[in-house]
């Protein structure tokens, strides 16, 4: 087979591939659990946060809980409707970042990028901390050690993701549908009990809540409004993760946008139903719930403190315990499914983080190495970075969901708001050119939806900023600012380099002559191969160089050179202190100075070994020399490899590594195993 | 200036250099402190150990102390006499390792190498732990925290050595001569007081020592012999470090061997005098000294326990306190000098360790990277390894000199003994050929000296093994065994590789054609330079390759290619999953398969940046690609560097780094700053 055939075959590969890609795409029934775990898992902690905030003023304010729930639901409906417009307009998976960048410019794009980076860290921290609370509800031994348990969980997730865990449909489908069905059955049974008058009370019913310091007196109207605003903005934690689908459109089956929009609608309905059900039932069943770190504000019915060994379980756990009273499997099923879905939500961040990194890298806001799927090192660094940041947050905030939530929501709503604003611009821009009346009507409708969305998310953002800035949102804003500056710095650097590198016409001058040097350390196969290869390039001058620290060794090699009758002259450079790099660099520099229009080609024989410990034993010098020669103008450095038999080990390892699934593959719409479905399909 | 001139100049450099090297060599008065700190510092703990061992049976056995001191002195005299033969016979600085390897074979050499590696670790651990005791004598706050203080000291030494501390004459001379003079004055004054009847008692005089469990009854003869043997073998700690000069002969001024032998004699005389003085004075001044961790065996004169807050100071500290009674500066001078000399002794190990590593590496018993002075990474790894091992020992043994000594001496005497045995063989071998009667007489005399040395060191080794095996020597032997196996494994690996690489006549076949590929990622200066360089080598086929994941980008680059009128064909490889490495490797492989006798030359344009963070942002892909292509047979990989302006930073940094002094330079006889005195002298 000739070279022409090869390249044609490679060029032709494309058509086949695109059609086959479809097979790895997700049907709606699988896409829902893949993208929903993050959003749905919020139900596990958002209602709790509403009750915690209201409880600041004592249990009397619980009357407001369902109104706050409805307010959150309305915002969620508006946001879902808005994102349904986004998935139609931006089906490429760039999500909020792309919308902001295209419509609002680079700074808005970077702001959203920074917000998303922070959000991924917080998704891990919040979901895992909440998961630890559920674990404490099911496993008494975990109670009191939630932070340790949470850090261990992050460790396990990190290890799995570094190892390359396979995100598959079933992986997500079983626990997510388990969670939906489990909670659905619980709610259904609960409402049935309510209607039939058999609804019990939760374990915390009958407790009294002492108001927090500052709330002891009757609330003023302004005080009440501020309290409700705090509760509302905490409840908006329920919206986190709703945007995930807009990043995953490419992974859907065709028609991608339509399927994504439908899935998003379904997700919104389920999330709203769940949240309102939790709040309604909790209210009805007499729930009393305070910040787990202010349990001293809980009193028994007789006014005595509940004591140090009182264990406050999460709202869903309390509901499940009461509704499935006398049927422990129901309780355990709900609690375990909730915990697993929370872990899946955290895993979502591990999957989304590298995807975001590659998108930022393509726009040169992140190191270029992140752009390609293949750079395992960059990829692993990203995962480790995410894990370290999340562990730091969990550790600093002692796995307290309530405090982490203060940091979480602001980033989410910054990207929501910028994204809505971008969408309005998008439609306005398109309306300028669109003539078709039907399309115009459609666009105008979309613009109204996004405007409503903007009104809601913008309001929430203001509320969040006002109510949460001092409580932790400043940390998020600070982190976002740092990421923003780093991204801008990286971009500036790349731009400066591109500027320095941009070609002009002076760059076409051909070197007049090639002076080739073959480095000789011993007279073995690699050296002979390097000599042969160098000779094959027919340089103007070809010489072999031996750097000697010892006259006797030098004499030996010169003798052997003569004995073998090698027809390349061998030159000995004397290096008294066993330095190798410096004499070679100086010699190359001086050749080049003697002939500034020529080029010096340095040939380095290298033998290639397979095991990591072999690499420790070999080629350190060649590596250093190559590194150093690259700084020498007018020099090119050629490695002539000689493959030792052990090198096959490394080749096999590389092959195994390449076939490994990487986190994020499923939601990027990339096939899990490229060499089965992709590149070499046509062989 | 033509190339011929350049290379001649480089070749000529040698003569000049050798004569100038002399300037950096050490006169005897500086060599003594440089090489003596290790040996002399033993006086700071060896007498203590004799008293501790004798105290096991109570203070009555102290009567034996001066006899044991004399026995140790006799052994030391024999060892010094033996090593004076070694420095004449082996002036190259290989020391015990070289003697054993040349005369007794590779296994003996590796055994000595392993023993020396272990000894360096223990030199650090013992010297620093003892130094911490002296610090506790001078600074009450350190008392009780010796281990922490010792670990901190190791940390400081490590940092200094990683940073590249300058071993200079004054650096050693001041504290070492201070130590010699300070102790000399103290002894002189002490003996004067004794003669004039004014010698006081040390602080521990008058205390009673309760015998250790098992020694309560009257000692049997065998029991006494065993006790004396234990005390003697602990006292032999005084001999550690005596061999240092035999590794440092090349650093002496001419006549090197003679000067080294004279210095060695002086060292021996000083060490023996000091040790015997300490023992005699301590005996006379009523010292009572037990293992610092069995202070409960000390009783006041009235039989009451000394109590928990009793602080037992080292022997020299007690002597200094009593002799300089009423003159605190004398006490502090002696104690501080002793402490500093102990730290210098530890630093000796930091200096000797890389030297030993490079000697082992030259014989292929250690990674080759250790052989060259220039490999900073290998060098730093060695220092960190030494520090970690020493800290581990200090931590495990809680900085207890007495327990660490049990591990220390066995390694020292293994290399002493093998070295003596090797010297006997050496003389016997030379006697076989030597005809000159005067020379023969000289050799026979030397052989007698070494035989006496062997008799002593061999006996001590047996005594040490018997008395200390269970007390810790087994740990040393185990560690030596591990080092031995590692060295043998490394050597075997290098031999196998050398075998696989050894040239035969089939290796001279020239490739028939060169197919050159220039990788193109963008059309910028580096690419144009790579194209020009590749073209200058006049390959049979030259083509540019662009790997595309995106049809639009590919079209753009093809357009620009045409617009610029580049006369090299551009081929586009399509890579759907943004993989770069794989398509290139496959393409190269297929070209090679189509023409197995040809060679594929892959040209990679690279731009070179200077800051470490720039390196994170660039060239990761080129690096991965190069790494992977090296595994592909019939391919050579050429980096065509383009130096960005920031690359000058890295160049300057490399230059600064190269000029830095490395630990071990002084005792290797290497000039501290090569570019001032060495390589470029002739410019």
pLDDT tens per residue, range B601-615: 999 988 888 777 777
Contact status, residue B463 vs residue B416, Cβ threshold 8 Å: no
Nearest CA in chain B to A605: B636
| Closest residue, chain A, to B602 (C-alpha) | A638
Q: Does A494 touch chain B (CB under 8 A)?
A: yes
User: Are A419 and A96 contacting, i.e. CB atoms less than 8 angstroms apart?
Assistant: yes
**CA distance to partner chain A, nearest, from residue B491 (Å):** 10
Q: Rounded distance, CA A425 to CA A584, Å?
A: 61
- Cα(A42)–Cα(A342) distance, integer angstroms: 8
Please list every residue in chain A whose beta carbon sits closer than 8 Å to the beta carbon of residue B669: none
Reported ipTM: 0.72
With CB atoms and an 8 Å threshold, state whether A620 touches B539: no
**pLDDT for A446 beyond 70:** yes
What are the CA-CA distances from residue B233 to residues A652, B281, B457 (Å)? Answer: 55, 21, 11
* Torsion angle, alpha carbons of A23, A28, A29, A32, to 10: 120
Q: Residue A303's Cα: distance from chain center in Å?
A: 48
Cα A180 from chain centre: 25
Question: What residues of chain B, 17 to 36, have a C-beta less than 8 Å from chain A?
Answer: 17-18, 21
How far is Cα B545 from Cα B587, in angstroms, rounded to an integer? 10
Domain A514-644: CATH architecture, name and number where available: 3-Layer(aba) Sandwich (3.40)
Say yes or no for a CB contact (<8 Å) between B507 and A532: yes
Residue among A636, A47, A484 at smallest CA distance from B534: A636
Closest alpha carbon to A167 in A675, A672, A677, A678: A672
How far off is chain A from B589, nearest CA to CA, in Å?
10
Interval A241-280: pLDDT, tens:
888 888 888 888 888 889 999 999 999 999 999 999 999 9
Residues 657-676 of A with CB under 8 A from B: 658, 670-671, 674
Average pLDDT value for residue range A156-168: 73
Query: Of the candidates B351, B18, B334, which has an alpha carbon nearest to the alpha carbon of residue B157?
Result: B351
Place of tokens 């004449």: B88
Phi, psi of A290 (to 5 degrees): -125, 170
So what's the pLDDT on residue A660?
Answer: 58
Give A527→chain B minimum CA distance, Å: 9
CB A276 within 8 A of CB A69: yes
Contact yes or no for A577 and B636 at CB 8 A = no
pLDDT digits (tens, 9 = 90+) for B255-273: 888 999 999 999 999 999 9
Closest by CA position to B671, among listed B16, B21, B6? B21
Give the Cα separation of A426 and A520 in Å (integer).
Answer: 64
Of B498, B607, B620, the CB nearest to A501: B607
CA angle B651, B654, B655 (to 5 degrees): 85
Q: Mean pLDDT in chain B?
A: 84
Structure tokens at B169: 């004459």
Tell me where in chain A the CATH 1.20.1740.10 domain(s) lie.
27-305+312-495
**Among the listed residues B88, B57, B111, B120, the one whose alpha carbon sits nearest the alpha carbon of residue B449:** B88
Choose among A32, A26, A44, A29: nearest CA to A123: A44
Sign of CA dihedral A641, A644, A645, A649: negative
SS3 state of residue B610: coil
> Quick check: A636 and B635 CB within 8 A?
no
**Cβ atoms of B576 and A679 closer than 8 Å:** yes
Question: Would an 8 Å CB–CB cutoff place A478 in contact with chain B?
Answer: no
- Inter-chain touch A368–B636, beta carbons under 8 Å: no
In this prediction, what percent of chain B has a pLDDT beyond 70? Answer: 89
> Could you say which of A507, A606, A650 has the minimum Cβ distance to residue B529?
A507
Pairing of strands B298-299, A298-299: unpaired
Contact yes or no for B602/B636 (Cβ under 8 A): yes
Which among A89, A91, A126, A96 is positioned nearest to A111, based on CA atoms? A96
- Round to whole Å and give the CA distance between A102 and B13: 65
d(CA A81, CA A450): 8
| Length of chain B (residues) | 683
A184-200 average pLDDT score:
91
A458 in B contact zone (CB under 8 Å): no
Which chain B residues touch A590 with a CB distance below 8 Å?
1, 3, 6
Pairwise CB contact (< 8 Å): A620 & B368: yes
Which residue's entry shows tokens 């999500």? A95
Q: CA B17, CA B683: separation in Å to the nearest integer?
A: 12
pLDDT tens digits, residue range A483-502? 999 999 999 988 988 888 88
The phi, psi pair for B608, rounded to 5°, reads -105, 125
Of B507, B522, B575, which is closest to A529 when you measure between CB atoms?
B507
Find out whether B243 and B38 touch, Cβ atoms under 8 Å: no
Q: SS3 of B600, please?
A: strand
Yes or no: say if A448 and A156 are a contact pair by the CB < 8 Å rule.
no
SS3 B544: strand
Q: Is the pTM of this model over 0.80?
A: no
Q: Is the pLDDT of residue B676 over 70?
A: no
Q: Cα–Cα–Cα angle for A565, A566, A570, nearest 5°?
A: 120
> How crowded is residue A452: how many other Cβ atoms within 10 Å of its Cβ?
16
Please give the pLDDT value at position B248: 81
A537 touches chain B (CB under 8 A): yes
Packed helices A46-54 and A315-323: angle between N→C axes, nearest 10 degrees: 100
Residue A417 pLDDT greater than 50, yes or no: yes
Q: Pairing state of beta strands A541-548 and A514-520?
A: parallel
**Is residue A664 very low, low, confident or very high in pLDDT (cuts 50, 70, 90)?**
low
Q: Which of A513, A608, A617 sits opposite B368 (nearest CB)?
A: A617
Residues 597-616 of A with CB under 8 A from B: 599, 601, 603, 606-609, 614, 616
Tokens 């990286």 sit on residue: A490
Helices marked H in B371-473:
376-396, 401-433, 437-468
Residues of B in contact with A493 (CB under 8 A): 614, 617
A509 DSSP 8-state letter? P
CB contact A156 to B (< 8 Å): no
Residue environment code for B297-306, b if the CB has 16+ CB neighbours within 10 A, otherwise e = bbeeeeeeeb
What distance in Å separates residue A432's CA from the closest CA in chain B? Answer: 26
Distance from CA of A588 to the nearest CA of B (A): 10
pLDDT > 90: percent of chain B: 37
Out of B539, B587, B658, the one facing A537 most closely (by C-beta) is B539
pLDDT for residue A682 is more than 50:
no
Cα dist. B396→B117, B293, B420 in Å? 19, 14, 33
Size of interface A-B (CB pairs under 8 A): 309
From-to residues of CATH 3.40.50 in chain A: 514-644
Q: How far apart, in whole angstroms, are the C-alpha atoms of residue B560 and residue B637?
A: 26
CB neighbour burial string for A511-532, b if at least 16 within 10 angstroms, e if fewer:
beebbbbbbbbbbbbbbbbbbb
- For range B457-472, the mean pLDDT: 89
Q: Inter-chain contact B578–A377, Cβ cutoff 8 Å?
A: no
pLDDT in the model for residue A187: 94
Which element (helix H / strand E) includes A381? helix A376-396
- For residue B675, what pLDDT is reported? 36
Distance from CA of A573 to the nearest CA of B (A): 6
Q: How many residues are there in chain A?
A: 683
Beta strand pairing status for B599-608 and B514-520? parallel
Nearest to B247 by CA among B104, B392, B474, B94: B94
Do the Cβ atoms of A353 and A667 come closer than 8 Å? no
Query: For residue A607, which phi and psi values (nearest 5 degrees)?
Result: -110, 145
**With an 8 Å Cβ cutoff, are B533 and A614 in contact?**
no
pLDDT digits (tens, 9 = 90+) for A329-343: 999 999 999 999 999
- Do the beta carbons of residue A682 and residue A18 sit within 8 Å? no
Distance CA B93, CA B250 (A): 6
Q: What is the radius of gyration, based on Cα positions, of chain B?
A: 32
In angstroms, the CA B116 to CA B107 distance is 14
pLDDT band at A382 (very low <50, low <70, confident <90, very high): confident
Indicate the pLDDT class of residue A3, thresholds 50, 70 and 90: very low
Nearest to A571 among B7, B369, B641 (CB): B7
Q: In 3D, which of A648, A566, A640, A578 has the Cα closest to residue A611?
A: A648
pLDDT of residue A471: 84
Q: Is the pLDDT of residue A322 over 80?
A: yes
Q: Which helix (H) or strand (E) is B329 found in, with range? A: helix B328-362
Interface test with B, best of A626, A679, A680 (most B CBs within 10 A): A679
- Residues 555-594 on A with a CB inside 8 Å of B are 564, 571-583, 586-587, 590-591, 593-594
Q: Which residues of A touch B661 (CB under 8 A)?
A: none
A527-575 pLDDT, tens digit each? 888 898 888 888 899 999 998 877 888 898 999 888 888 888 999 988 8
Of B537, B617, B624, the CB nearest to A514: B537
Lowest mean pLDDT among A664-673, B42-51, B302-311, B455-464: A664-673
pLDDT in tens, B283-315: 999 899 988 878 888 888 887 888 777 888 899
Name the fold adopted by A27-305+312-495: Amino acid/polyamine transporter I (1.20.1740)
Distance CA A142, CA A317 (A): 15
> Burial, B495: exposed, middle or buried (Cβ in 10 Å; 0-12, 13-18, 19+)?
exposed
Question: A643 at the B interface (CB within 8 A)?
Answer: yes
Q: Is B635 on the interface with A (CB under 8 A)?
A: yes
Contact B643 A633 (CB under 8 A): yes
Q: Does residue B486 have a pLDDT over 90?
A: yes
Q: Which two tokens stand for residue A543?
A: 């010489």
Whether residue A172 has pLDDT greater than 80? no
Interface contact A374, partner B, CB < 8 A: yes
> Looking at the partner chain, which of B578, B616, B641 has a beta carbon nearest the beta carbon of A371?
B578
Distance (Å, whole) CA B394 – CA B455: 33
* A570-574/A541-548 β-pairing: parallel
Using one digit for the tens of pLDDT, what is the confidence trace for A590-613?
Answer: 998 888 888 899 999 888 887 777
């Amino acid at each position: 087979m000739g070279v022409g055939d090869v390249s044609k075959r490679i060029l032709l590969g494309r058509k086949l591939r695109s059609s086959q890609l479809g097979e790895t795409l997700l049907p709606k029934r699988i896409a829902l659990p893949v993208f929903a775990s993050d959003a749905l898992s919020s139900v596990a902690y958002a209602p709790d946060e509403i009750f915690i905030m209201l409880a600041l003023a004592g249990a009397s304010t619980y009357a407001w809980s369902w109104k706050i729930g409805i307010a959150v639901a309305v915002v969620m409906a508006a946001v879902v409707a808005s994102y349904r417009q986004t998935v139609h307009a931006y089906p490429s998976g760039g999500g909020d970042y792309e919308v902001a960048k295209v419509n609002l410019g680079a700074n808005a794009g970077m702001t959203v990028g920074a917000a998303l980076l922070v959000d991924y860290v917080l998704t891990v921290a919040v979901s895992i901390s909440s998961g630890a609370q559920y674990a404490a509800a099911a496993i008494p031994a975990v109670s009191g050690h939630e932070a340790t348990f949470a850090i261990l969980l992050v460790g396990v997730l990190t290890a799995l993701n570094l190892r390359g865990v396979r995100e598959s449909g079933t992986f997500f489908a079983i626990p997510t549908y388990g969670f939906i069905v489990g909670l659905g059955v619980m709610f259904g049974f609960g409402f049935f009990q309510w209607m039939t008058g058999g609804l019990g009370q939760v374990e915390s019913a009958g407790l009294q809540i002492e108001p927090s310091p500052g709330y002891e007196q009757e609330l003023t109207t302004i005080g009440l409004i501020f309290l409700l605003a705090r509760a509302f903005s905490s409840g908006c934690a329920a919206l986190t993760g709703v945007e995930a689908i807009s990043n995953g459109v490419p992974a859907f089956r065709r028609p991608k946008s339509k399927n994504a929009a439908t899935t998003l609608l379904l997700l919104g309905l389920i999330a709203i139903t769940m949240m309102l059900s939790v709040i309604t039932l909790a209210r009805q069943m007499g729930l009393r719930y305070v910040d787990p770190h202010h349990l001293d504000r809980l009193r028994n019915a007789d006014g005595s403190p509940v004591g140090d060994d009182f264990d406050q379980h999460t709202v869903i756990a309390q509901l499940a315990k009461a509704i499935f009273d006398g049927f422990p499997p129901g309780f355990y099923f709900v609690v375990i499914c909730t915990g697993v879905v929370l872990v899946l939500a955290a895993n979502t961040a591990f999957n989304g983080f590298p995807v975001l990194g590659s998108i930022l890298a393509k726009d040169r806001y992140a190191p270029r190495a992140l752009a390609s799927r293949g750079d395992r090192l960059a990829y692993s660094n990203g995962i480790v970075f995410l894990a370290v940041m999340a562990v730091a947050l969990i550790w600093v905030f002692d796995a307290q969901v309530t405090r982490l939530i203060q940091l979480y929501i602001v980033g989410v709503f910054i990207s929501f708001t910028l994204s809505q604003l971008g969408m309005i611009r998008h439609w306005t821009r398109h309306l300028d050119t669109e003539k078709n009346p039907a399309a115009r009507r459609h666009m105008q409708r979309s613009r109204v939806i996004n405007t409503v969305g903007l009104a809601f998310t913008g309001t929430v953002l203001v509320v969040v900023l006002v109510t949460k800035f001092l409580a932790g949102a400043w940390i998020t804003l600070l982190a976002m600012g740092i990421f923003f500056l780093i991204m801008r710095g990286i971009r500036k650097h790349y731009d400066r380099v591109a500027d320095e590198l941009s070609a002009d016409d002076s760059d076409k001058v051909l070197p007049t002559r090639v002076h080739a040097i073959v480095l000789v350390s011993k007279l073995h196969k690699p050296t002979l191969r390097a000599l042969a290869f160098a000779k094959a390039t027919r340089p103007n001058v070809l010489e072999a160089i031996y750097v000697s620290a010892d006259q006797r060794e030098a004499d030996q090699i010169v003798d052997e050179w003569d004995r073998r009758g090698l027809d390349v002259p061998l030159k000995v450079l004397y290096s008294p202190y066993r330095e190798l790099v410096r004499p070679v660099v100086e010699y190359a520099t001086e050749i080049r100075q003697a002939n500034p229009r020529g080029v010096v080609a340095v040939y380095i024989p290298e033998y290639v070994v397979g095991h990591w410990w072999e690499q420790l034993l070999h080629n350190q010098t060649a590596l250093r020399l190559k590194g150093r020669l690259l700084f020498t103008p007018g020099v090119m450095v050629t490695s002539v490899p000689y493959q030792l038999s052990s090198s096959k080990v490394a080749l096999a390892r590389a092959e195994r590594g390449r076939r490994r699934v990487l986190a994020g593959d499923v939601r990027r719409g990339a096939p899990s195993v490229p060499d089965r479905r992709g590149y070499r399909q046509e062989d």
